[in-house]
Amino acid sequence: MRKKSVHPFQSTDNDVKKEVNTENLMTNLSNSYASDLLPSKDDKDLTKCFLLQVVNILLHYIEKTFDVKSKILDFHHPHQLLEGHPRYFNQLSSGLDVIGLAGEWLTATANTNMFTYEIAPVFTVMETILLKKMCEIIGWGETEADGIFSPGGSISNLYGILVARYKQYPEIRTKGMRALPCIVLFVSEQGHYSVKKAAAILGIGTDNVIEVKCDERGKMIPAELEKNVLQAKRKGQTPFCVTATAGSTVFGAFDPLHNIADICEMHKLWMHVDAAWGGGLLLSRDHSYKLSGIERANSVTWNPHKLMGVPLQCSAILIREKGLLGACNQMGAGYLFQPDKLYNVDFDTGDKAIQCGRHVDIFKLWLMWKARGTYGFEAQINRYMELAKYFYKVLKKKDNFKLVFDAEPEFTNVCFWYFPPRLKHIPKGFERDQELQKIAPKIKAQMIEEGTAMISYQPCGDKVNFFRMVFSNPATRQRDVDYLIDEIQRLGKDL
Amino acid sequence: MRKKSVHPFQSTDNDVKKEVNTENLMTNLSNSYASDLLPSKDDKDLTKCFLLQVVNILLHYIEKTFDVKSKILDFHHPHQLLEGHPRYFNQLSSGLDVIGLAGEWLTATANTNMFTYEIAPVFTVMETILLKKMCEIIGWGETEADGIFSPGGSISNLYGILVARYKQYPEIRTKGMRALPCIVLFVSEQGHYSVKKAAAILGIGTDNVIEVKCDERGKMIPAELEKNVLQAKRKGQTPFCVTATAGSTVFGAFDPLHNIADICEMHKLWMHVDAAWGGGLLLSRDHSYKLSGIERANSVTWNPHKLMGVPLQCSAILIREKGLLGACNQMGAGYLFQPDKLYNVDFDTGDKAIQCGRHVDIFKLWLMWKARGTYGFEAQINRYMELAKYFYKVLKKKDNFKLVFDAEPEFTNVCFWYFPPRLKHIPKGFERDQELQKIAPKIKAQMIEEGTAMISYQPCGDKVNFFRMVFSNPATRQRDVDYLIDEIQRLGKDL
């Protein structure tokens, strides 16, 4: 492939760009930023050029892999890989998940497995570095924390509760739940259903998950938590864990973490924070205060595949106390985790996992972080927050929309009803609700059939079916928000 | 991109092929087979051409995604997608995981999620079809079976035990393990460690996993299983499940499934078969008899990412009784699984999973199956078996190698020691073992440092560190086997 040292896109003339042919596109990208790619800028040619260069590198790798003359691997020790990268996260740029996509293509091409360092040396080291980074952002910089990437937020939450139980009762591993007292855990009624699922899987039982009442905004009420803990104790149950939510699924609510941490400390309960959805907000200096207190948690779930826009799957479970995760899960299989290896086997992280083989989820995150830096993530997340605020303000002015909770959104979730004209004058009550609950499903069905937009709806408690708008798509602009509102009115006005 | 209707590679002259330039390569591939690609044939240009065409399609998709003028989705009902594909698996061709790689690139580009049909309609339907196909191959064609793709064999085994427990004790979901008697399960001492890991996670406890003795080949001894079951009952424990292994990790052993099924039937125990590694052998008409009896199992783990060469991750848990998986795991979250949708919500398979978001692991398998057909998989697997036999025969003839078990391999695992000349005359016993155990780690360390080959070793029971050769790499040829043997001798002869 011919290479030029001059960047062909320095001209600002769009027509000139358009005429650049494919071969010219395959040139030096060193003057481009991630923020020049789709959808940040509408530069299809540059995006294509970038991805074709990625593919070129991958094709070269594939050829080399099948060449018997090449070395099967070029081994480096973990400490060698850790050296020499002081600017891992120092780049000021912002971009888009085309980078994440390139990362995923590369991961697929490498087709390796996270269980031991010898099999995935670079990826294992990247995981160690990024887990440390994430722990620092949470506020655990002083301690030696730990963690692992798992196949999703539900599994990460399961890890949190699993380690919580092990910390209190290490005998659980060998003796099982029958050796334990009747342990119970607490989660808000707005918490994610994966907490109950975990309780069912872990043999705790969903009856032993106590749902704590929320305020009208969907936040756990600390006084209710305390009341529930005391009640459980009086009933002879043994509280061991509270799962707080930072960014609830439907309302985007943040539980008051400091108040919950106080209660956990007083009653010696493990505090797990499910920040699968809200964790990304820690990267925004304007908004991270909403997770204040998360540094007091014992474990945190944080999914970069949500707010940070990393391709699915990319979820981390972070544990404040180092060593617990390994102690809880290791089985020391002789065929994988030989102690007599030639390198520092601390990097054989596989035995911390509840899996054996484990997909490489780290590289795309590492590449995105390197391409855009923390500032890049921050800028994008702040933009989502601005969009949510804009959306809220527009809806508030419209007669035929009603917000489920009427206050500026704390997160990018905005929940609302649409009232077709014929319902507007029916007084609030059972009769109106009966009609209103049919509106959202009908509008959505219409949208799906026509393929014009996609928005979620659900009932919640005494609230009949309402729409939930969420901003986490980097391609979304104000005009798309306006379009959605018009579309709902168009499809709903005669219902 | 210019397209030609004539295939440029119909000439058999290799020199002519080599001169085809990149642009000409981007032509109609309709006359090519998966078996024309690397590493089946050494055709780098065609492989490159194939992957570039894949990328072209993906780039077009990316452009379209970001185009606000295009439909956000083009909805089809599940029954529409199921129609019109009678030849899904009927193609006679054989190839290589470059196809799987293309599938993974496409999956990454689509970046969707398996939880509901509306979000991943095509992938959800593909999963249904392939699960059915795999159940038929197991021998459950007559029943309505069920299953799901999970993030790996360990999680699939966990599913098996989870559903086994639920079937016997549905109250486990709500009440937890404390409401159950002391339940125990059985696995051979050669079974995978994920069974114990699952017992620890599920709150059963590893003490309640009873290891059944194996014969010298690594197969569970049915009489020992029966003895252990009776012993447990006498001790007041309640047996509920047996995990048989079809293709053990180290020896590649197949437990005698019919004998185990007899015992399970007699004692009313759930029979789970861990065929993570061995499942692929079902596709070989010459070798599938080794799994005879698997059709009597209640659940089966089968990882296409192992013997079938699908890129990681791709693991299925198959459950013979339809409905159990959903009943065991569903939580019916209102925000995802609304009953008032416009389509048949049976295809919203997400609530069967222990996950919420779930990576799309199905497309690459579907694409590979379509490209090579069952016959293609069979041919490749038979070739692995031939290689294992060849390797065994060569080792048997060599003075300084000793097989751990001296008989023609049943699977592609071949376990052996290398004896450096200085150890050959030390008589069998403790002293020799002390020296022998250091040999494999030293040879492997040397291989890793030089990057010449990669082979696993481990101790097992009273057997000190031995090498385990496994054939599952489609690029391996007899010459590579010869090379490995020479390499071990070169690195080991002076140790």
Q: Which residue has the tokens 């496409």?
A: B106
Label residue B358 left, alpha or beta by phi (over 0 means left) and psi (-120 to 50 means alpha).
Answer: beta
Whether A313 and B357 lie within 8 Å, measured CB to CB: yes
Phi (first) and psi of residue A403, to 5 degrees:
-80, 140
B434 lies within 8 A of chain A by CB: no
Chain A residues with CB under 8 Å of B44 CB are 63, 66
Q: How much is the pLDDT for B311?
A: 86
Interface pTM, i.e. ipTM: 0.85
State which residue of chain A sits closest to B335, comparing Cα positions: A458
Which residues 368-427 on chain B approach chain A with CB closer than 8 angstroms? none
Whether A172 and B460 lie within 8 Å, measured CB to CB: no
Q: How much is the pLDDT for B74?
A: 55
Q: Residues A385, A286: contact at Cβ < 8 Å? A: yes
B48 lies within 8 A of chain A by CB: yes
B44 lies within 8 A of chain A by CB: yes
Higher pLDDT, B257 or B108: B257
- B108: nearest CB among A111, A205, A311: A311
B463 lies within 8 A of chain A by CB: no
Chain A residues with CB under 8 Å of B104 CB are 104, 108
Looking at CATH, the fold of the domain delimited by A112-360 is given as Aspartate Aminotransferase; domain 2 (3.40.640)
Q: What is the mean pLDDT of residues B238-244?
A: 98
B354 lies within 8 A of chain A by CB: yes
End-to-end Cα, chain B, rounded Å = 59
> pLDDT for B366-391, tens place per residue?
988 988 899 999 999 999 999 999 99
Q: What is the mean pLDDT of residues B208-230?
A: 97
* Closest approach of A142 to chain B, Cα-based (Å): 30
- Alpha carbon A21 to its chain's center: 38
Q: How many other CB atoms are there within 10 angstroms of residue B136's CB atom? A: 12
Q: Would you state the CATH architecture of domain A375-492?
A: Alpha-Beta Complex (3.90)
B345 lies within 8 A of chain A by CB: no
Q: How much is the pLDDT for B336?
A: 65
Chain B residues with CB under 8 Å of A21 CB are none
Q: Which residue has the tokens 């919203």?
A: B348
Q: Cα dihedral sign for B194, B199, B201, B202?
A: positive
Chain B residues with CB under 8 Å of A48 CB are 59, 63
B323 lies within 8 A of chain A by CB: no
| Cα–Cα dist A414/A420, whole Å | 19
- A111: nearest CB among B44, B206, B311: B311
Q: How much is the pLDDT for B96?
A: 40
| Cα–Cα dist A214/A223, whole Å | 10
- B331: nearest CB among A66, A178, A197: A197
State which residue of chain B sits closest to A454, comparing Cα positions: B72
Q: How much is the pLDDT for B264?
A: 98
Q: How far is CA A247 from CA A183, A255, B62, B333, in A?
A: 26, 8, 30, 17
State which residue of chain B sits closest to A63, comparing Cα positions: B44
> pLDDT for A17-74, tens place per residue?
333 344 444 455 666 666 676 666 667 777 777 777 777 777 776 676 666 566 544 5
Q: How much is the pLDDT for A174?
A: 95
Residue from A317, A340, A348, A449 whose CB has the most chain B CBs within 10 Å, to mutate: A340
Residue from B355, B464, B477 whose CB has the most chain A CBs within 10 Å, to mutate: B355
Cis peptide before B313 (omega within 30 of 0): yes
Higher pLDDT, A82 or B256: B256
B461 lies within 8 A of chain A by CB: no
Chain B residues with CB under 8 Å of A43 CB are none
Whether A62 and B51 lie within 8 Å, measured CB to CB: yes
Whether B51 and A39 lie within 8 Å, measured CB to CB: no
B475 lies within 8 A of chain A by CB: yes
CATH 3.90.1150.170 positions along chain B are 375-492
Q: What percent of chain B has pLDDT over 70?
A: 81
Say yes or no to pLDDT of B1 above 50: no
Higher pLDDT, B15 or A254: A254
Say yes or no to pLDDT of B437 above 90: yes
* Closest approach of B158 to chain A, Cα-based (Å): 9
What residues are paired with B273 via a beta bridge? Answer: B244, B300
Say yes or no to pLDDT of B17 above 50: no
Q: How far is CA A243 from CA A189, A190, A297, A302, B335, in A?
A: 11, 11, 10, 13, 20
State which residue of chain B sits closest to A66, comparing Cα positions: B39
B208 lies within 8 A of chain A by CB: yes
Chain A residues with CB under 8 Å of B438 CB are 340
State which residue of chain A sits closest to B69, comparing Cα positions: A452
Q: What percent of chain B has pLDDT over 90?
A: 55
Q: How much is the pLDDT for A378?
A: 95
Q: How much is the pLDDT for B69?
A: 62
B334 lies within 8 A of chain A by CB: yes
Whether A152 and B206 lie within 8 Å, measured CB to CB: no
* Closest approach of A317 to chain B, Cα-based (Å): 14
Phi (first) and psi of residue B155, to 5 degrees:
-70, -35
Chain B residues with CB under 8 Å of A480 CB are 68
Q: Which residue has the tokens 């481009």?
A: A32
Q: Chains A and B: how many Cβ contacts under 8 Å? A: 293
Whether A51 and B62 lie within 8 Å, measured CB to CB: yes
User: How many CA atoms within 13 Å lie on the side-chain side of A261?
Assistant: 13
Say yes or no to pLDDT of B78 above 60: no
b vs e for B18-45, b when ≥16 Cβ sit within 10 Å of the residue's Cβ? eebeeeebbbebeebbbbbbbbbeebbb
- A108: nearest CB among B55, B105, B456: B105
Whether B450 and A59 lie within 8 Å, measured CB to CB: no
> pLDDT for B287-296, tens place per residue?
999 999 999 9
* Closest approach of B330 to chain A, Cα-based (Å): 8
Tens-of-pLDDT digits for all 495 residues of chain A? 333 333 322 333 333 333 334 444 445 566 666 667 666 666 777 777 777 777 777 777 667 666 656 654 455 555 554 445 322 222 222 234 677 787 888 888 777 777 677 767 788 888 989 999 999 999 998 778 899 999 999 999 999 999 999 999 999 999 999 999 999 999 999 999 999 999 999 999 999 999 999 999 999 999 999 999 999 999 999 999 999 999 999 999 999 999 999 999 999 999 999 999 999 999 999 999 999 999 999 999 999 999 998 988 899 999 999 999 999 998 876 666 666 666 676 777 778 888 888 888 999 999 889 888 999 999 999 999 999 999 999 999 999 999 999 899 999 999 999 999 999 889 989 999 999 999 999 998 888 788 777 788 899 988 999 999 988 887 788 888 898 899 999 999 998
- B451: nearest CB among A55, A75, A445: A75
Q: How far is CA B141 from CA A352, B125, B137, B326, in A?
A: 39, 18, 8, 20
| Cα–Cα dist B349/A436, whole Å | 28
Of the candidates B255, B334, B331, the residue with the CA atom closest to the CA atom of residue B296 = B255
* Closest approach of A112 to chain B, Cα-based (Å): 7
CATH 3.40.640.10 positions along chain A are 112-360
* Closest approach of B355 to chain A, Cα-based (Å): 5
Whether A445 and B341 lie within 8 Å, measured CB to CB: yes
Q: What is the DSSP string of B310-340?
A: PPSP-EEEEESSTTHHHHHH----TTT--TT
